[in-house]
Amino acid sequence: MRCPYCRGTDSRVLDSRTADDGAAIRRRRECQECGKRFTTAETAVLSVVKRSGATESFSRAKVISGVRKACQGRPVSDDDLALLAQRVEDAVRAAGAAEVPSAEVGVAILGPLRELDEVAYLRFASVYRNYDNLEDFEAEITLLRSEAALAATSPESADAVSVSTTLPTPS
């Protein structure tokens, strides 16, 4: 680990403590060359297994770049995307495996993206789930609408709601 001040490679650990509920270890170090102190963090590497079988480290930046295209022209900010990537990482890490298939990362993206923007969600899902005809879109949109209608109705009357007559106007 190079010293961030002088790039020296010799440092001494002064103190180690767990952080993030045991998911990380932080070490306070002192550079033996310039004497400055800095902190390093150690976390387990989360690997994503691609369809080809190759693995790569999980990267929030990759989640963001994967979703950004679907969000073109939508009212989604960089902060929204950063938060989404954080939620995806939390969800994937919470599953507790050291390696996750890339498909699972895709699934973890769908929920938060849908909350963020339904149009972006549809675009992303259409590629991700290989929608290849209008019926696939129709089925997904019907599902989105029926869930929105249910959410807008009190639980008691949810069974009686007629989905087709309670569609919210898209904003």
- Residue ranges binding Zn ion (CB under 5 A): 3, 5-6, 8, 31, 33-34
List, in sequence order, every beta strand (DSSP E) within the chain: 11-19, 24-31, 37-43, 47-49, 55-57, 99-101
Q: How far is the CB of 131 from Zn ion (least distance, A)?
A: 54
Burial (CB < 10 A; 0-12, 13-18, 19+), residue 61, is exposed
For residue 111, which phi and psi values (nearest 5 degrees)? -60, -55
Q: Which is nearer to Zn ion, 3 or 116 (CB)?
A: 3
For the bound state, the minimum distance from the C-beta of residue 95 to Zn ion, rounded and expressed in Å, comes to: 39
Between CA 63 and CA 59 the distance in angstroms is 7
Is 27 or 93 the residue whose CB approaches Zn ion more closely?
27
- Judged by phi (left if over 0) then psi (alpha if -120 to 50, else beta), residue 136 lies in alpha
Shortest separation between residue 33's beta carbon and Zn ion, angstroms:
5
Three-state secondary structure string covering 109-126: HHHHHHHHCHHHHHHHHH
**Nearest CB to Zn ion, comparing residues 29 and 87:** 29
* Choice between 10 and 20, CB closer to Zn ion: 10
CB of 100 to Zn ion, least distance (A): 37
